[in-house]
């Protein structure tokens, strides 16, 4: 079994957040195996599989790995929403137990007046998928990015201290 070290990772992914992960691992000289060990719940090859685009990371695990590296994930607006506000919009309840990025996603829906069903339709996701994120599961990165695209949002990693200022 090949162990990816920080210096020899050749990421095949085109996802900016995963490229940032590879860059940070290289910059901090932190091999994937060490990150997996420090996380505790990841298998040895999980991070390598993420970077080689073999599997999509669960958002919760990705956020934990960035946290180990001293970074925090947040949502940033890259473009105006491609979906107009819904005329039948009712504010979404945001449960406190949902993943922080999922809470930010729903807060953004409430702020813009866009219905989750409209986002699901525009992203090609089932409406139940978005409901499941609120109730019980953190999404996979691939699915979450698909839901963010029609809203003009992207996931970005910030240093722990700058995250609050940049998101405001």
CA 103/CA 79 separation, integer angstroms: 20
What is the model's pLDDT at position 165?
A: 46
CA 26/CA 21 separation, integer angstroms: 9
| pTM of this structure | 0.85
**Mean pLDDT of each 10-residue bin along the chain, 168 residues long:** 49 83 90 86 86 90 93 94 91 90 95 94 94 87 95 93 51
What is the model's pLDDT at position 9?
A: 55
Query: What domains can you pick out in the chain, each with its CATH number?
Result: 6-55 (no CATH), 76-167 (1.10.260.40)
79-84 — which CB contacts under 8 Å span 24+ positions?
A: 79/152, 80/152, 81/112, 81/114, 81/150, 81/151, 81/152, 82/122, 82/149, 82/150, 82/151, 82/152, 83/114, 83/118, 83/119, 83/122, 83/150, 83/151, 84/114
Tell me how long the chain is: 168
- Percent of the chain, pLDDT > 70? 89
């Amino acid at each position: 079994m090949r162990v990816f070290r920080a210096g020899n990772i050749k990421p095949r992914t085109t996802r900016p957040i995963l490229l940032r992960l590879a860059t940070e691992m290289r910059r901090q000289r932190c091999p994937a195996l060490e990150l997996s060990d420090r996380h505790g719940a990841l298998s040895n090859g999980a991070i390598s599989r993420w970077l080689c685009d073999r599997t999509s990371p669960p958002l919760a695990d990705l956020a934990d790995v960035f946290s180990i590296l001293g970074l925090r994930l947040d949502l940033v607006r890259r473009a105006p929403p491609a979906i107009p506000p819904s005329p039948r919009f009712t504010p979404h309840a945001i449960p406190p137990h949902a993943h922080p990025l999922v809470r930010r996603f729903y807060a953004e829906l409430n702020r813009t007046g866009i219905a989750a069903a409209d986002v699901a339709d525009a992203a090609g996701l089932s409406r139940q998928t978005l409901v499941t994120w609120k109730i019980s599961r953190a999404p996979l990165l691939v699915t979450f990015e698909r839901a963010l695209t029609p809203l003009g949002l992207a996931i970005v990693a910030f240093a722990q201290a700058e995250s609050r200022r940049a998101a405001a």
